[in-house]
Chains A and B, each alone.
Chain A
Amino acid sequence: MTALAVVPVVLATLLIGARGVAALRSTSDFLVASRRVSPTLNAAAVSGEYLSAASFLGTAGLVVKNGVGALWYPVGFTAGYLLMLVLVAAPMRRTGALTVPDFAEARLGSPGLRRFSAVVVLVIAGLYLVPQFTAAGQVLTLVSGTPHWVGIVVAGAAVSITLALGGMRAATYVQAFQFVLKLLLFIVPAIWLLVAAGADTRAEAVRPAEYAAFPRPTEVTFRLDTRLQVREPVTVLADGVPVRLEPGEHVAPGDATWVFPEGAAVPEIAGAALPGSGTWQRPLLDGGNWHPLLATWSVLVATALGTMGLPHVIVRFHTSPDGRAARRTAAITVGLLGSFYVFTVVYGLLGGVLVPELYLSGATDTAVVALPSRVDGGTTGDVFTALLTAGAFAAFLATSLGLLLALAGALAHDLLPGSLRRLRLTALLAAGVIVLLALPAARIDVGAVVTSAFAVAASTFCPMLVLGIWWRGLTARGAFVGMAVGLASSAGVMALGLVAQPGPGLVALLLGQPALFSVPLAFLTMVAVSRRDRPLPGAEAAMLRLHLDERT
């Protein structure tokens, strides 16, 4: 029943998308809506595009899993637009480039660098898109019991049809509409949850007790193979069969359903903090590991600097008529995002009190959608579950639209330049490939994969954009080597971490959250390599004109 809530969202997306069709005539129309969008509309569209499943579901889920420190994620997401406003918004718009690879060629005059940038776009967009589609499947599975693939296919179909019909022009209206929708669907249920939860739950949420023992018989369906540290002997019903667990490490297989008896001690999971415990309550990240400050800074560096390097965000600034409008768009976006993210704490804290068992199952990404039924078992609870499901689905749609556009742009505009028809086809094909990739990826952690996309963007595009705009000495070779080093030390190092699986500690922290060293490394490499070259003769003028008001 609740799954039907996604129908109006998909229909509205298609209807608003259809509105843009008449205006669509050329490739530049498709990509940047012929640049006539006002700062406020564009800021709403930027926010609508940016508020993905990671924001709507993932952050509150991370609070349940890792503690209050996870609230630094949305701070970094918002700060990213401040840095964009300061460093890139107006000059980037003035390059006239349609995409980040366009910028690379326009500023540094190297077609090779353009193609390499397009490859980086593919990496970032892929890392960002697959978890969006996976999350769509997860939420639909939770609320309706439909198979995982239904949600993924529905999301993929809605997104690619809208893109193929209307392109960016449609996407601008769709994204702006979806920002308003998501804001309402996030704030209204939050207020209702606070009121309906009652004084006791509210008091508990701000003074949480450690989730030390199961308050009632608790059923846990593990999403992944999970290593549990059992503290006291306990008999669980493992898929209906009683199994006695002695203290020590036990592995619960993925998809298994275990029922823990009332009063049993809650097992611990390495690298996560028991909801309500002292480390959970501490406002720094990575409760289980040492060096919580390093972990917090690393996430902040990745999210704040990664935002300006996200290809789908950058392309949206080109729908502003000029540099000034682009700058205003960034400034308004900081305010719009803040008004959304201040409500994350409501879901996170209530989730820690009402659905702490998600910490065991690993399905913390569903915490937001699971909350209403815990507060109200009747129709009202169902209605709010449906509203939050619709909001979450709007989040997948909006972000996926922008990402597919960037992906299609990189393929059809930069790697294999072609016609509008080819660009549309590319968007459709890209959506199909992502759906195929998302189907077997049911088990990835949505928040973690999205953050890795930020780390890659922060280590590659961020240094190229910042140095390209502010330093005349940047050369094509410097940018190329710097981006290659940044890509290897972010994506490469994270892949190494996945393969090596080091135990908790500094090594695991550096492999899992490499931004703290990969971003400075990329900057330093770019500067060092560029200094050995001579900049192109026109480099200084090419850089300076980006700082001149184009209406002069």
Chain B
Amino acid sequence: MSRQRRVAVTSPQTRVALAARRGVSAVPRSLTGEELRVAARIRRGQLRVAAGTLAAAALLLVGLPVLLGAVPVALRVGPFPVVWIAVALLPYPVLAVLAHWQLRRAERTEDGTEQAGRDLPDRAR
């Protein structure tokens, strides 16, 4: 099962067409009841994780312009207006940290449901 092997890719279009011909649903392989319960739990967990990150992103994208509209340009750190730093530089490290945080929590949410004994491929951590 090497990752380096070329893989055949079936377009969902084809899958859907074949499934429709057999008169069944378009889902390629039907999940077992247990798998569905696990998936539902993961989805709920991922929604919680997503809600946190989205709230933080909204605070940055909606809240920061409000704040910057109120702070005078004359307020400076050294020669630089504070509001310029806040729009030109500050958002990027904040977004990168949020992305890292979201990635870690999303992967953990997925892993939390993995069965014991299944060998895990190499992970970044």
Taking Cβ atoms with an 8 Å cutoff, the residues of A that contact B are: 28, 32, 34-36, 68-69, 71-72, 75-76, 78-79, 81-83, 85-87, 90, 95-98, 102-103, 105-106, 109, 114, 203, 206-207, 278, 281-284, 292-293, 296-297, 300, 304, 321, 324, 327-328, 330-331, 334-335, 338-339, 341-342, 344-345, 413, 417, 470, 536-538, 540-545, 547-549, 551-552
Contact = CB atoms under 8 A, between A and B. Distances in A.
Interface in B79-112: 79-81, 83-84, 86-89, 91-93, 95-96, 98-100, 102-103, 106-107, 110
A470 B47 contact: yes
A75 B53 contact: no
B102 A82 contact: yes
Interface residues of B: mostly helix, strand, loop or mixed?
A: helix
A542 B26 contact: yes
Given A297-B65, A327-B107, A547-B46, A34 B36 contact: no
B36 A541 contact: yes
Interface of B: 3-4, 6-13, 15-16, 20, 25-28, 30-31, 35-36, 38-40, 42-43, 46-47, 50, 53-54, 57, 60-62, 65-66, 68-69, 73, 79-81, 83-84, 86-89, 91-93, 95-96, 98-100, 102-103, 106-107, 110, 114-115, 118, 121, 124
A545 B27 contact: yes
Contacts of B65: 72, 283-284, 293, 296-297, 300
A78 B25 contact: no
Given A470-B43, A548-B31, A548-B35, A35 B7 contact: yes
Nearest to B12: A106
Contact of A547 (B42, B102, B121): B42
B100 A284 contact: no
* Chain A contact residues, majority secondary structure: helix
A551 B121 contact: yes
8 contacts: A79-B57, A82-B95, A102-B11, A282-B69, A335-B99, A545-B39, A547-B39, A552-B115
A239 to B, nearest CB: 39
A315 B103 CA distance: 20
A342 B92 contact: yes
A78 B91 contact: yes
Contacts of A87: 50
Closest 7 CB pairs of A and B: A538-B25, A338-B92, A106-B12, A345-B88, A28-B9, A544-B39, A334-B99
Contacts of A78: 91-92, 95
A284 B20 CA distance: 53
Given A281-B81, A544-B39, A547-B42, 14 more contacts: A79-B61, A86-B106, A105-B16, A106-B12, A106-B16, A207-B79, A300-B62, A335-B99, A338-B92, A341-B92, A545-B39, A548-B31, A552-B35, A552-B114
Contact of A300 (B7, B53, B61, B95): B61
Contact of B110 (A32, A72, A85, A549): A549
A338 B9 contact: no
Nearest to A301: B61
Contacts of B11: 28, 97-98, 102, 413
B108 to A, nearest CB: 12
A90 B54 CA distance: 16
Nearest to A332: B99
Nearest to A324: B107
Contacts of B46: 547
